[in-house]
Amino acid sequence: MAKLKLRGKDLRNIGYPEGPVISVAITVMEQHYKHHRQEDALGLLQQVLQNPESFRNEDHLGRIAEKLIVEEPTEIPLNETPLPYEVYGREFIDEGAIRQMDYAMRLPVTAAGALMPDAHQGYGLPIGGVLAAKNAVIPYGVGVDIGCRMCLSIIDIPADELEKKASVFKRELIAGTVFGAGASWKPGVEDAVLENPLFSEIGLLKHLQAKAAAQLSTSGSGNHFVEWGLVDMLEPWEGLAPGRYLALLSHSGSRGLGAQIAGHYTKLAREICQLPREVQHLAWLDLDTAEGQEYWQAMNLAGNYASACHHHIHRRLIKAVGGALLARVENHHNFAWKEKHNGEELVVHRKGATPAGKGVMGVIPGSMTAPGFIVRGRGEAASLHSASHGAGRQMSRSKATQSFTGHELAKILAEHKVKLIGGGLDEAPGAYKNIETVMAAQTSLVDVVGKFYPKIVRMAESGEPRED
The 10s digit of each residue's pLDDT in 270-299 is: 989 999 988 999 999 999 999 999 999 999
pLDDT, position 390: 95
- What integer is the mean pLDDT of 442-450? 98
Q: Which of 109-123, 179-193, 237-251, 339-353 has the weakest average pLDDT?
A: 179-193
Stronger pLDDT, 467 or 173, i.e. the higher one: 173
pLDDT, position 349: 98
Taking CB atoms within 8 Å and a gap of at least 24, the contacts of 11-19 are 11/42, 11/45, 14/42, 14/45, 14/46, 14/49, 15/46, 15/49, 16/45, 16/49, 19/67, 19/271
- What integer is the mean pLDDT of 20-33? 90
pLDDT, position 457: 97
pLDDT, position 72: 56
- What integer is the mean pLDDT of 376-394? 96
Q: How far is CA 230 from CA 183, 287, 299, 350, 373, in A?
A: 28, 43, 33, 28, 12
pLDDT, position 467: 60
Stronger pLDDT, 245 or 464, i.e. the higher one: 245
pLDDT, position 396: 86
Rounded Cα–Cα distance for residues 350 and 380 (Å) = 15
Contact criterion met (CB below 8 Å) for 107 and 79? yes
Rounded Cα–Cα distance for residues 125 and 277 (Å) = 14
pLDDT tens per residue, range 299-332 = 999 999 999 999 999 999 999 999 999 999 999 9
pLDDT tens per residue, range 409-419 = 999 999 999 99
Contact criterion met (CB below 8 Å) for 139 and 280? no
pLDDT at 425 over 60: yes
Question: At a CB cut-off of 8 Å and minimum separation 6, what does 131 contact?
Answer: 104, 105, 110, 112, 113, 125, 138, 141, 348, 349, 351
- What integer is the mean pLDDT of 422-439? 93
pLDDT, position 124: 84
pLDDT, position 468: 60
pLDDT at 1 over 60: no
pLDDT, position 75: 86
pLDDT, position 73: 62
pLDDT tens per residue, range 222-274 = 899 999 999 999 999 999 999 999 999 999 999 999 999 999 999 999 989 99
pLDDT, position 465: 65
pLDDT at 464 over 80: no
- What integer is the mean pLDDT of 9-26? 88
Share of the chain above pLDDT 90, in %: 82
> How long a stretch of residues is the chain?
468
pLDDT at 431 over 70: yes
pLDDT bucket at 78, cuts 50 / 70 / 90? very high
- Dihedral sign computed on CA atoms, order 452, 454, 459, 463: positive
pLDDT, position 61: 94
Contact criterion met (CB below 8 Å) for 127 and 315? no
pLDDT, position 277: 86
Whole-number average pLDDT of the chain? 94
Share of the chain above pLDDT 70, in %: 97
- What integer is the mean pLDDT of 70-80? 79
